[in-house]
Each structure stands twice: as C-alpha cells, then as structure tokens.
Amino acid sequence: MLDAQIKDALIRIVGQQNYTDSLIDMVSYSYDASEHRARPSCAVWVENTAQVSEVMKLADREKIPVTPRGAGTGLSGLSVPAHAGIVMDLTRMNKILELRIEDRLAVVQPGLVYADLEKALAPHGFFFPPDPSSGKVCTMGGTVGTNAGGVKGAKYGTTRDYVLGLEVVLADGRIMRTGGKTIKNVSGYDLTRLFVASEGTLGIITEIALKINPKPTVTTTAMASFNDLEDAGRAVSEVMRSGILPSVLEILGRETILAINQNTDLKLPEVDALLLAETDGYTKTETEFQMETVLEVFRRNNPGMVKLATSPEEAAQLWTARKSAYAVLARIKSHFVLEDVTVPIGKVPALLKGIQAIAKKHEIQIATFGHAGDGNLHPQILYDGYDPEQVRRMEAASDELFKLAIELEGTLTGEHGIGLSKARYMTLEHDAVSLEMMRTIKRAFDPNNILNPGKMALDAA
Amino acid sequence: MEAKYDFERKYREQILRCSRCGFCQAVCPVYGATLRPGLNARGKMLLLKEVMDGRIDLSDELIETLFQCTTCASCTHNCPSGVQVPEIVKTARMDMVNIGSCHPAFTGMNEVLKKHPNIYAEDEAEEFGREKKRQAKYVFFAGCVGLYRETEATEAALAVLDKLKVDYTLIEEVCCSGVLEDVGFPLNDALVQTNIDRILATGAEAVITGCPYCARTLNNKPQYAPLRAQGVLVMHIAQFLQDYDLGVHTHKKVTYHDPCDLGRHCGIYEEPRQTIRKLAPNFVELPHHHADALCCGAGGGVRGAYAKNSIDMARRRLREVEETGAEVVLTECNSCVHNLGNAKLRKQKFTICTTTQFIRDLMEEAG
Amino acid sequence: MEFESYNMPDELYYDPNHYWVRQEGDLLVMGMDDFARKLAGQIVFVQLPEEGKALKQGKKFASVESGKWLGKVYAPVNGEIAAVNEQLETNPGLINEDCYGAGWMYKVKPDDVAEVQSLLHGTEAVQKWLTEEIAKYAKGA
C-alpha cells in the first residue's frame, strides 16, 4: 500500500481524477498480454510531459518503481509492474502533434493508437510501414519501446528505421530530446536508437517524431503450399535472394494449418507449410512482374498448389488463413506462450524442423507461423496451464527453443522484447561484456533502478 | 475447487480462453470513452479470473466495472478467442446481486418494477389517442422508452401504421421487464404475465414493436414462451415495413446507426436498410457499420447507472456521423435515439430519429 | 436563506416548479433551485433550445435529465429565450455544483417583466411553499 503522503503528492501532480488505487484498476494493471502478473500499488493517468516529469521526480526521490504503460498489449511482460510501485498509464497522451507530409514527418504522443495514426495518414496517401498485428489497439510508445515489427518487415524494416527523434523524461524527471525532425542526422550519439526497444527501462517516452512513407497503391497476393518443410524453407531463402523484395512473406506451419481447419471452414491443404506472399508498387505491371519472380521460385521448389489472387476479394481470402492463426490457436488450450525467435533467413528451414523435433520430444503442441521473409517465426506453445506436468514440459520446450535459435545464429526475440519472459535467457545470447555494458548504461540513466525494474535481466549483478 | 459462483459454473472455460490480447480495447465503447482498462472487457475477464482463482472475491469494489457494460457484444465480435463477455457479465451481475453487491440504480430498478408498470416509476404514460384492447391482427408494443421518453417516435410509428391501414391495436402494456436480467435480477413474473394476457386477449397473430430490446425479450425469454406457444409472432417494425412501398422519397444525405440490440444481437441489418434505400437513395454508411457498429452507450443499464459516460459514448458515435456529412441519422431503437439525442451538440446540425419518424415526416410533407 | 438544509437565496423569485428567477438588466436569468437539484441527483443532460424560441408562461419548453429522471422545464413568464448557458452542453454537472451561479440555465427576454411578481418571493412565502414541497417529495430523503 502506498504511503498516504506519497498518494497526496501524486494527486497534487495529476489531479484526483487521474489517480487510482482501486481494486479494479490494480488488477487490470497487473497484466499485459503475456502470462505474467504483478500488482502495482497505484496508477496514474498522465496528460502531459510536465506531469510525467513531476511524477518521476517524486518517484526517484522516494525510490518508488514506475512502470510505463500504453495499451498493455505487450507479449513479454514489459508493462507488468514486477516490483509493484506506480503504473504510469500514458494512453491519454494520444494526439498527433504535427503532420508534415512534405517533410515526411509525423510527431505523435506515446498514447496514440497505431490505427489512428494510419487513419490520419491515409487521406494523404502515406503510411507508417511497420504494421504490427495488434495495430488496432497498440500504442506508439510501446511500438517504439519494443521496436515493433509486423508483416511488412521483410521489405520495410521495423519501427527503429522510422524513429527520427524523441522527447524523453529520465528517471530523475529531467527532460531531454534525442535526434530531431530531419530524415538524416548524425549529430552526437544516436540516443534515439538507444531508447528504441529499451522497454521503458531508460526513460519515459513522451513525444515521438516519425518518418512516414508514401503508400504503394497496388498489391498482388499469392499463396503456395509445400508438402515438405525443406522445400518451403528453400523457397523462402530463394525469394529473398531473387533480386526483388516482397512486401510480405509469411509462413504457416502444419500444426497451425490443422488447427485452422479444425476451427474454421477454410479447408486449407494439410501440408508442411503454406507461404503467403505479397508484392506492392504503383502499377499492376510492376507488382505482377515482382510476383512472377516469386511464383517462379515457388514453382521450382515442389509446391503442392500455387494460387495467384486475381481480385481484391481473392486476396482477402488468402489473407484470412494467416490472420486467423493467432485466434484459432488461442482457443485450443487454456494457456499458450507465443515466442518470436528470429534467425538468419537461410536458417528458417532448420528452425522449423528444430521446432517440430522439440515438440515431439517434449510431447507438447507447438504451432508455428510468422514472418518468414525476415526470419522471424512465431512458435506458439499450447498447454494446459493448470496441469503442472504440462507447465513443466512447456518450460523445457521453451528452454530448448531458445537454445536452438541461438545455435542457429539467431536471437531470442525479433520484435516482442525481452521483458520478463526471456530475461533468464539473456546470457545465452549476450556475452558477459555486453551484458555488463547494458547494466552500466542502465545505471547511468537510472541510478536508483526505478524505471520498469526487474526486466531484461538488467538487475542481476 | 468447487465453483463458488454461477458465472464460474457456466463460463469458466470461456473466461480461461481470454488470452489477454487486449484487442477488445479497439471496440469497447466504455473503454473508448474512458481509456480505463479496468472497465474494458479484458479487465473484467481478468477480475473474474482472479475471483475464480481465489485471489480476490466478488464485492462492492467490483460494482463499478461489472455494472458498467452496455452488453453491446462488440468485444465478442472482435475477440480472437470468441469469449462471450456480455453473457458472462450478466451472470456475474446476478452473482453480485445474490451476495448483496449491486449498483444502487439497479436495486432501485428492481424495486420500481415491483410497484410500477415501467422502469421510470412514472404514472402518466403518453396517450396516443388510439384504441387499446380491441381485437386486431397486430398488437403494437411501444416499450417503456417509447411511452415515456421518445413519445414522438411512437406517435410517428402509429401514424405510419395508420397510413398503411394496418389492423393493429394498442394494449395497456407494462414493462417487458427484460432489462432486469441485464442488471442482475430475474424477469418480473407479474409483469410478464400481464403482457402475455393482454396480448392474447386481442387475438393478434403478431406483435410489432419499435423496441429491439422488447422484441428480443418476447422472442427469446422462456418466461414469454406461452406467447410463442400460441403461435404469436414478435417482430420489430423494421422487419414489418421492409416490403412496403411507402411512396415517399428524399434527396437528403442519410445514414443509419445499427442498434446493438437489433444488429449484433439479432442479426437484423438489411431490413432497415432495404426500407431506407427505397426512401433515400443518397444513403451513406457510417465508418463503423453492420456488425462493427459503435454502441450508443445506453444499453446494459449504463444510461441509468453511469449516465455521464453513457453520453460520452454517444458523443463518440456522433463524431462518426459528422465524418459522413449526413444530414439525417436514422436508427431503429428508441433508446439509441434518446441517448444520441442527449449527446448531440448544438453545433451539430443533423437530425436523429427513428426510420418510422422520418417516414412519417416525409409523408406529411408530401401531403 | 437556509431552510431545512436547503439553500434558497432570499433575493430570488421562485417558480413553483422549482426554477429560480432573477433580474439582470432587462433580462431574466433562470435555473434550478437547491431543492430540485438535490432531488434530481447528478444532472446529465440539459436541453438548450435555440435563441429566439417563444415561451408561454406555464408551458414546458425544455427538459432536464439525471440518470433515469426526466424533468420538465416550464416558462415562468411569457417571452423568448435570449441566451442559454452553453457550458451546460458538455458540463451539465454545473447545476449540481453551483445551481445559482455557474449553473444558470436560460436567459429570458420577458414580454412584461412585471410578470415576475406572480412568482414566489420573500422568506415567509418561500418557507411555507418549501414546507409543503418537502412533505410531498422529500420525506425520508
């Protein structure tokens, strides 16, 4: 329970109506979209940078942990208040401050929902390319805090490639700016990049300057099935080597396909893998030319079927399978863990096969789908969380999964972040020197360790 | 562990299926108006999960979220796991009432309906100057909102029925009492029986109502089975009018708000549009329409218990109307008309009314 | 004056439907009195008709709502609406916060300002009226 004096001080900063310690808020702020849970002492809704700064000054002085939060859709426990304290909900700071199309610039507040940014850019024919699957609800602060990816990563990269500058409030309440509003900027250390994917552990982001792109108006979509995983994997590598960049290259594994067929009327071919590809541009000639290259790759890798969508309705139909994957898998068992291990593109087949072997060895269901085009797969481990035996097997399978990814020269996480979920695997991927440097940086920014403490293995000595 | 509450007995598996993705935040009208995750569908499921796990218990502290849900089912419609939040919330409300934790507005409502024939505890229903209780092919059932708040809408519906020379009668109706189940109480048997008796006494083969909620109640609730057992059909006026050629037209830009109770809950989307398109060729859809329609904020008892938030929700819907540039927004629910009407700002120049009201106005203009 | 926990300023005129009236130049300002405000609870909606709308004494010209209660606003005098309190559009709670000040509702241009004299006025008259009203509506409230 928070000290009465501190409660009063917080209320003085944000106002009575923007402070809460009521049960219903404390419970909902205990969770994000991961399986972690920890209850905060209180929560505040902040409306501007000044309030954020005052709250941080107070928290730093009193050594109270602060966990920043947007929509709470993180999959690794990033916004779960592991050490209690204050949850700082930034969703009310949700405006677009500036939209300057000729400068390819949008300056936004962290609580802005991704879908609202898209809606504002669409009439100008522009878009923000990273397209996270949670775009309808996720907020830009979290998007920057995790360097969110999405289905367009293979061609357009991730959030990091589009953040030009930030306004950040540090742990002690000091306010600073990083980067700027120019497309190119090499002035001083690139602190912007330090904050992107820092998961709220180095500062609270209160303003984001984003680069935006003109939006291609035409897309061409196709799907191919592969009876053999190796063929699918080879097709992925060859597409990415072929000289064109598809805007989307997604994969659905066998387990996922079976689950989709059991729960929908889609009647997908029950094969080792389905690949969904999309090319984009400004004329049909252009997109079809690029897609022809993709289709040639598919054709020479023993596909079962190859289907090119000839209308927007057909394209939408091809997408339905990929879009329904997460939903269908979520219904199968009472619990699941969604991972996002990423490997070099050429290693995708090995990763897929490795996941199958792990599932078999530990007798647990793992369904895989994901962004084959940039090597970022989503193995989803399905289990009954109320059965301690299944939990044990899930943990053993997870362990092996991360080891496999690292062995394949990959990383623990391509886009969801480390948070709580993968903290204990950090030593698998990072050498002792780099981990020590991360902790040194953390100490420099947050000597009292109050910003989202307990995450990313930054606490361990 | 033995389930302590009905909501767990009936919905444990569904509540466990909630994967905490938070996608419901994109569509929940309460969350949209308050940005408070504790009030969102996910927040409710998390609380109920903690109750099931024995971490917390049902108590007064949960009133603010469990009784603040319009039961619009937008969340369910968008939930990757298909969790039927409104049903779970309604059952949890009953569990809350059973332990003595209920929102005062609703305990009040239950008491009101024990003594009064309507939810407003008012004694003077509007008189429409039409015959009641005679033998006729149809009964027109106005519902409480139609009798005590949106009386203009009811008068218009009756005027249209008159013009079409429909053989209908009114009855001394009482509250269908369906709303009680939404707020944690059982239907009021005395009121139900009164309605059944009075409808059957007219010999009518069908009931036409302007209230989608009454239509759902009379059609689906087991307490009204005797009515259906006599072969009496119950339909919403939108269904009744869909095949008529009303002979009136307008050039005005018209849009349509799908009421949750008619749309998502009954799947009735096209019948109202069929009628509207015949009258108003210059018809545009709202940005969120059909099963994606934004709730007006009045349902599930929210207008009575959390009126300020209810009106904020309505305001969000009206901003969508502004976006379309429509001059008229039509809908088929008196509750929606009322809440949207309250929320409309003076600078917003469009009119809000039921389709039948609009038809009546066009008929009068045509002479 | 304070009477039985209700604040009823002496200088105001009172319509028996519980709307207070005061003169402001050649206009009349009106709003809800403390008694009605307490009985109604949190006001959530105030109907604000267009300026220029004609008012007939004793006739309803607008409505006021709390959660489930609908109140009718009656014209205390003959005239027309000169102005409405636009703040009430998004902040109807002003009536609850300050029913005699910031929560004023309408300004009326009266046909004949003398009609105000037909309203209740003065400590004795108001107290007598309020006693009856309390007996009618507020027993046990």
| B254-366: CATH number | 3.40.50
Is some CB atom of chain C closer than 8 A to the CB atom of B219? no
Name the more confident of A129 and B122: A129
Q: Which distant-in-sequence residues (6+ apart) come within 8 Å of B173 by Cβ? A: B117, B141, B142, B143, B147, B195, B198
DSSP run (H or E) holding A223: strand A218-226
- Is residue A262 classed exposed, middle or buried when 0-12, 13-18 and 19+ CB atoms within 10 A define those classes? exposed
Name the residue in chain C with its Cα closest to that of B298. Answer: C67
A89 contact residues in B (CB cutoff 8 A): 35, 37
Pair A68, A79: CB distance under 8 Å: yes
Name the residue in chain A with its Cα closest to that of B57. Answer: A23
Is B25's CB within 8 Å of A34's CB? no
Identify which of A24, A45, A115 has the shortest CB distance to residue B61. Answer: A24
Out of 1.10.357.20, 3.30.70.2740, 3.40.630.40, 3.40.47.10, which CATH number does the structure's domain A333-419 have? 3.30.70.2740
Shortest alpha-carbon distance between residue B248 and chain C (Å): 29
Q: Which of B287, B290, B292 is nearest to B318 (CA)?
A: B287
| Full set of structural domains in chain C with CATH | 2-131 (2.40.50.100)
DSSP-H helix ranges across A138-249: 140-146, 153-156, 191-195, 229-241
Is B346's CB within 8 Å of C42's CB? no
For residue A122, give the 3-state DSSP assignment. helix
Shortest alpha-carbon distance between residue C45 and chain B (Å): 6
| Structure tokens that stand for A384 in this block | 């009954």
- Is residue A10 classed exposed, middle or buried when 0-12, 13-18 and 19+ CB atoms within 10 A define those classes? buried
Instruction: For strands A365-371 and B283-284, give the pairing.
Output: unpaired
Check residue A354 and give its pLDDT: 94
A137 contact residues in B (CB cutoff 8 A): 22-23, 25-26
Any chains having at least 3 CB pairs less than 8 A from chain B are: A, C
Residue of B20, B56, B306 to mutate for A, most A C-beta atoms under 10 A? B20
- Is residue B67 classed exposed, middle or buried when 0-12, 13-18 and 19+ CB atoms within 10 A define those classes? buried
Q: Which distant-in-sequence residues (6+ apart) come within 8 Å of A188 by Cβ? A: none
Question: In this prediction, what percent of chain A has a pLDDT beyond 90?
Answer: 86
Per 3-state DSSP, chain B is made up of helix, strand and coil in percentages (nearest 5) of: 50, 10, 40
Is some CB atom of chain A closer than 8 A to the CB atom of B39? yes
Name the residue in chain C with its Cα closest to that of B308. Answer: C44
Q: Which fold does the domain A217-325 belong to in CATH?
A: Alpha-Beta Plaits (3.30.70)
Is A331's CB within 8 Å of B17's CB? yes
Which regions of chain A carry the CATH code 3.30.465.10?
A: 96-214
Fill in the amino acid letter for C105: M
Q: Which of B301, B350, B302, B338 is nearest to B147 (CA)?
A: B338
The CATH architecture assigned to B138-241 reads 3-Layer(aba) Sandwich (3.40)
Is B304's CB within 8 Å of C86's CB? no
**Sheet harboring A376-383: ordered strands across?**
A303-308, A218-226, A273-281, A248-253, A365-371, A376-383, A335-338
Name the residue in chain A with its Cα closest to that of B15. Answer: A334
Identify which of B26, B39, B42 has the shortest CB distance to residue A136. Answer: B26
For residue A461, is pLDDT > 70?
no
A122 contact residues in B (CB cutoff 8 A): none
**DSSP letters along B182-236, please?**
HTT----HHHHHHHHHHHHHTT-SEEEES-HHHHHHHHH-GGGHHHHHTT-EEEE
- Confidence band for C141, pLDDT divided at 50, 70 and 90: very low
Identify which of B105, B149, B310 has the shortest CB distance to residue C70. Answer: B149
For residue A4, give the 3-state DSSP assignment. helix
**Sheet harboring B138-141: ordered strands across?**
B168-169, B138-141, B206-209, B233-236
Is B38's CB within 8 Å of A25's CB? yes
DSSP-H helix ranges across A174-283: 191-195, 229-241, 254-263
| Structure tokens that stand for A84 in this block | 């209690």
What whole-number distance in Å separates Cα of residue A159 and Cα of residue C12? Answer: 64
Name the residue in chain B with its Cα closest to that of A92. Answer: B35
* Pairs of CB atoms within 8 A across A/B: 84
Q: What spatial distance separates the first Cα and last Cα of chain C, rounded to whole Å?
A: 20
Out of 3.30.465.10, 3.40.50.170, 3.40.630.10, 3.30.1490.20, which CATH number does the structure's domain A96-214 have? 3.30.465.10
For residue A244, give the 3-state DSSP assignment. coil
Average pLDDT over residues A138-161: 94
Is some CB atom of chain C closer than 8 A to the CB atom of B213? no
Shortest alpha-carbon distance between residue A230 and chain B (Å): 31
Q: Which of A254, A246, A401, A421 is nearest to A325 (CA)?
A: A254
Check residue A320 and give its pLDDT: 86
Name the residue in chain B with its Cα closest to that of A337. Answer: B19
For residue A1, is pLDDT > 80?
no
Q: What is the dihedral of CA A95, A98, A99, A104, to 10 degrees?
A: -120
CATH class of B6-102: mainly alpha
Taking an 8 Å Cβ-Cβ cutoff, which residues of chain A contact chain B? 22-25, 27-34, 45, 71-73, 89, 91-92, 94, 113, 115, 134, 136-137, 326-327, 330-331, 334, 336
Shortest alpha-carbon distance between residue B213 and chain A (Å): 29
Identify which of B105, B148, B345 has the shortest CB distance to residue C89. Answer: B345
Identify which of A23, A24, A331 has the shortest CB distance to residue B81. Answer: A331
* DSSP 8-state secondary structure symbol assigned to residue B174: -
What whole-number distance in Å separates Cα of residue A348 and Cα of residue A235? Answer: 10
Average pLDDT, chain B: 93
| Structure tokens that stand for B330 in this block | 């039509």
Average pLDDT, chain C: 90
For the beta carbon of residue A250, count every other beta carbon within 10 angstroms: 25
Residues 21-50 of B with CB under 8 A from C: none
For residue B92, give the 3-state DSSP assignment. helix
Q: Which distant-in-sequence residues (6+ apart) come within 8 Å of A18 by Cβ? A: A44, A45, A46, A47
Out of 3.30.43.10, 3.40.50.1460, 3.30.70.1450, 2.40.30.20, which CATH number does the structure's domain A4-89 have? 3.30.43.10
Angle, to 10 degrees, between the axis of helix A348-361 and the axis of helix A388-407? Answer: 150
Q: Do chains B and A touch (3 or more CB pairs under 8 A)?
A: yes
Any chains having at least 3 CB pairs less than 8 A from chain C are: B
Q: What is the dihedral of CA B63, B69, B73, B79, to 10 degrees?
A: -60
Is some CB atom of chain B closer than 8 A to the CB atom of C140? no
Which residues partner with A340 through β-bridges? A413
Q: Which of B257, B300, B288 is nearest to B73 (CA)?
A: B300
Pair B112, B51: CB distance under 8 Å: no
Q: What spatial distance separates the first Cα and last Cα of chain B, rounded to whole Å?
A: 70
- The region of weakest confidence among A318-332, B155-169, C53-67, C88-102 is A318-332
What whole-number distance in Å separates Cα of residue A217 and Cα of residue A124? Answer: 12
- Confidence band for B1, pLDDT divided at 50, 70 and 90: low
Identify which of B22, B25, B50 has the shortest CB distance to residue A27. Answer: B50
Q: Which of A335, A316, A430 is nearest to A380 (CA)?
A: A335
Identify which of C45, C69, C86 has the shortest CB distance to residue B311. Answer: C45
Average pLDDT over residues A197-206: 96
Structural Rg of chain C based on CA atoms: 14
Identify which of B19, B36, B38 has the shortest CB distance to residue A330. Answer: B19
Q: Which of B279, B300, B287 is nearest to B258 (CA)?
A: B287
DSSP-H helix ranges across A196-283: 229-241, 254-263
Check residue C68 and give its pLDDT: 65
Is B26's CB within 8 Å of A113's CB? yes
Is C66's CB within 8 Å of B105's CB? no
* DSSP 8-state secondary structure symbol assigned to residue A104: T
3-state SS record for B289-304 = CHHHCCCCCCCCCHHH
A92 contact residues in B (CB cutoff 8 A): 35
Q: Which of B107, B103, B87 is nearest to B7 (CA)?
A: B87
C66 contact residues in B (CB cutoff 8 A): 307
Residue of B150, B342, B345, B348 to mutate for C, most C C-beta atoms under 10 A? B342
Is some CB atom of chain C closer than 8 A to the CB atom of B120? yes
Residues 72-131 of B with CB under 8 A from A: 80-82
What whole-number distance in Å separates Cα of residue C123 and Cα of residue B280? Answer: 59
- Is residue A225 classed exposed, middle or buried when 0-12, 13-18 and 19+ CB atoms within 10 A define those classes? buried
Average pLDDT over residues A5-15: 97
Q: What spatial distance separates the first Cα and last Cα of chain A, rounded to whole Å?
A: 28
For residue C23, is pLDDT > 60?
yes
| Structure tokens that stand for C107 in this block | 């300004």
| Structure tokens that stand for A115 in this block | 């879908």
Any chains having at least 3 CB pairs less than 8 A from chain A are: B
Average pLDDT over residues C35-53: 92
B148 contact residues in C (CB cutoff 8 A): 70
Check: pTM over 0.80? Answer yes or no: yes
Instruction: For strands A42-45 and A86-89, give the pairing.
Output: parallel
For residue B16, is pLDDT > 50?
yes
Question: Domain-by-domain residue ranges, chain B?
Answer: 6-102, 138-241, 254-366
